[in-house]
Structure 1
Amino acid sequence: MTTTGTMLAPIPPFTLETAIEKVRKAEDGWNSRDPQRVSLAYTVDCRWRNRAEFPTGREQIVEFLTRKWNREHEYRLIKELWAFAGNRIAVRFAYEYRDDSSQWYRAYGNENWEFNEEGVMRLRYASINDLRISPDERMFHWPLGRRPDDHPGLSDLGL
């Protein structure tokens, strides 16, 4: 029996295959831009560091993501597995968005994740840098939502 009543496969300890699957599921969730849906991947008391913000718990995560996606328009994200061991996964990522003035950005970052025994994330540490780009420099053009399976990943794009 689980302590939260929530089991999010795959669960730790991770293998290469299950770590890659977990990363893709996280990418798909974030590309939905649905704060409620995304928050369910985190424990009710999950602790984050995202740039200079430190949300704790699902309620603050939903508030954070709502603010984020209200200012980051046409958000498209690609995550890639960097390393894994036991109940931890490290990823690198890039996402593109435009702000209210139609300035485009590509954000680059790294995340460190720690999961409970049920596969629910309890710690998330993210370091992110934004780079202004022109519309011609954009590389992520798929329709909003899940990245198509045949779309190149970060390494394929040279990012």
Structure 2
Amino acid sequence: MTDSRPPLPPFTYETAVRKVRAAEDAWNGRNPEKVSLAYTPDTRWRNRSEFLNGREEVVGFLTRKWEREHEYRLIKEIWAFTETRIAVRFAYEYRDGAGQWFRAYGNENWEFSESGHMRVRHASINDIAIAESERKFHWDLGSPRPADHPGLTELGL
């Protein structure tokens, strides 16, 4: 792989925070092919009970995900980092095909290649049904979270 995906390891706190925000923005764009380019071609994932290998499986997974999770909006927050690894906590809101709203809470552990592509992703996630009135994530669908929109800590999540 000759391209790079800055910021590159070794991470500092500032570059790790930028990496987390870049991931959040990409996932909020909900474009599976574009999102998959942040991962190594042979990336390995565990997402809940699914195990994925390679970008092609990531594209398929994300396509299925966003077909069933309507009005998806995500916020990620750094938890910890090392030179090549980042841990994040996150929450996202979506509604299913029947109109029920959910907030999903989770943690991810990431490992990066020298080129800045994510090599490994482990995600543990729990979904909780919420009323539409309990939603906290309000910005234009398919857009990055605005800079002035509160993060998880500010929202008490």
TM-score normalised by length of structure 2: 0.99
What residue in structure 2 maps to residue 158 of structure 1?
Answer: 156
1 CA distance for matches of 2:101 and 2:6? 35
2 CA distance for matches of 1:16 and 1:128? 25
Q: State the Cα distance separating 1:141 from its structure 2 match.
A: 1.1
Q: Which runs of 5+ in 1 are unaligned?
A: none
Q: Which amino acid in 1 is paired with 2:107?
A: N
Report runs of 4+ in structure 1 exceeding 4 Å deviation.
none
Counterpart check, 1:142 vs 2:146: no
User: Superposition RMSD on alpha carbons, in Å?
Assistant: 0.4
TM-score normalised by length of structure 1: 0.97
Aligned match of 1:61 in 48, 55, 58?
58
TM alignment of 1:114-153, pairs within 5 A: 114-144=111-141, 145-153=143-151
Q: Which amino acid in 1 is paired with 2:27?
A: W
What residue in structure 2 maps to residue 81 of structure 1?
Answer: 78
Q: Which runs of 5+ in 2 are unaligned?
A: none
What residue in structure 1 maps to residue 16 of structure 2?
Answer: 19
Q: State the Cα distance separating 1:33 from its structure 2 match.
A: 0.3
Q: Which amino acid in 2 is paired with 1:156?
A: E
Q: State the Cα distance separating 1:5 from its structure 2 match.
A: 1.4
> How many equivalent pairs are there?
156
What SS class does the counterpart of residue 40 from structure 2 fall into? strand
What residue in structure 1 maps to residue 93 of structure 2?
Answer: 96
Percent identity, aligned pairs only? 68
2 CA distance for matches of 1:157 and 1:103? 21
